[in-house]
Amino acid sequence: MDFQPSILRDGNPMESLEKQLLCPICLEMFSKPVVILPCQHNLCRKCANDIFQAANPYWQSRGSSIISGGRFRCPTCRHEVLLDRHGVYGLQRNLLVENIIDIYKQECSSRPLKKGEHLMCKEHEDERINIYCVTCEVPTCSMCKVFGAHKDCEVAPLQSIFQGQKSELNNCISMLVAGNDRIQTIISQLEDSCRSTEENSEAAKQELCARFDAFAALLEEKKTELLGRITREQEDKTGFVQGLIHKYKEQLEKSSRLVETAIQAMEETGGAAFLMVRPQPLKPSLPMGNPLGTIVEASKGGRLEKIEQGYENMDAFTVSLEHLADAVRVLDFEPGNSTLKTPLGPGDEGPS
């Protein structure tokens, strides 16, 4: 318990001391006060137990064996108090406060009562307010009941009403404190849920990015493979055509030489000289012949290979990606979890 320095400077130190000795729950002087570690505030043991029971509805004991410990919050500073398996009975009693209360009560009992220490009736100035009008719900004096405004009302002892309402207020305070503890627990759970949601969302985003990156890498790998096949087909076809071009150029060169020889033969006017011209044949395997035979053979045309019509066409390497585009457009998450749902493509079979 913390005493304020202002107590010593107060004009009525006993009254200030009494305020320091009041339990914040029952608003009465401490009864078997226990100190709440580590905040050092005090509560009646019964009040502390009421708060503890309200905050821990499932805490129970069997005989002298306690099932489990628990926790509650200090009603003064809201500090969370953790208890062991002994519950409230494990808290230390504040013997110093108990001794101060005993001394205070002894001092109060030895002092004579003064008129100003009690509330007096406004209608009957010499009468103390000592009863409670139940009908009007106000405290009053005996004279008001006998002769005054409350003579026809139902009354009750002031102390009885005071204790009843104080007990009810005490119960309400305990319920409010327990309710505050439950609300604080819910707030903590919601904050934990918010943090978990953010962490799980970040993990889901990373997993989604990893899946799309892997899919993009697979597409890039397939594209490289198909481009390689087109390149190899291009090299095969252009290589074959380049070979044919080389052969036709050789034949053209030989044919041009033969034309020159034939023109020279045509310039001869004598028969013997004309027949002496021996041009080389187009093919090395053939014997040298006369001009007419060689030219006739050359005029028949070469027998080199030719390419078919549409040989340069590359339509066979066309790829249709429409089914993949449709699958990507309808890509979505599986109901109930964060796993991506991949639609079936052409030729895929669903579950039987």
Global confidence as pTM: 0.45
Between residues 207 and 65, which one has the greater pLDDT?
Answer: 207
The DSSP code for 316 is G
Tens of pLDDT, residue by residue over 276-288, are: 665 555 454 544 5
Tens of pLDDT, residue by residue over 173-218, are: 888 888 888 999 999 999 999 999 999 999 999 999 999 999 999 9
Tens of pLDDT, residue by residue over 310-340, are: 888 888 889 888 998 999 999 888 876 655 5
Rounded to an integer, what distance in angstroms lies between the CA atom of residue 77 and that of residue 179? 16
pLDDT number for residue 279: 54
Query: How many percent of the chain have pLDDT more than 90?
Result: 18
Residue 6 has pLDDT above 50, yes or no: no
Where does the chain hold its CATH 3.30.40.10 domain(s)? 13-59+67-110
Which amino acid does the sequence have at 154? E
Q: List the one residue out of 47, 25, 51, 52 whose CA is nearest residue 34.
A: 47
DSSP for 272-290 reads: HHHHH--PPPSSTTSPP--
Rounded to an integer, what distance in angstroms lies between the CA atom of residue 286 and that of residue 300? 15
Where does the chain hold its CATH 3.30.160.60 domain(s)? 129-200
In this structure, whether the domain defined by 129-200 belongs to CATH 3.30.160.60 is answered with: yes
CATH number given to 13-59+67-110? 3.30.40.10
Q: List the one residue out of 99, 83, 104, 96 whose CA is nearest residue 36.
A: 83
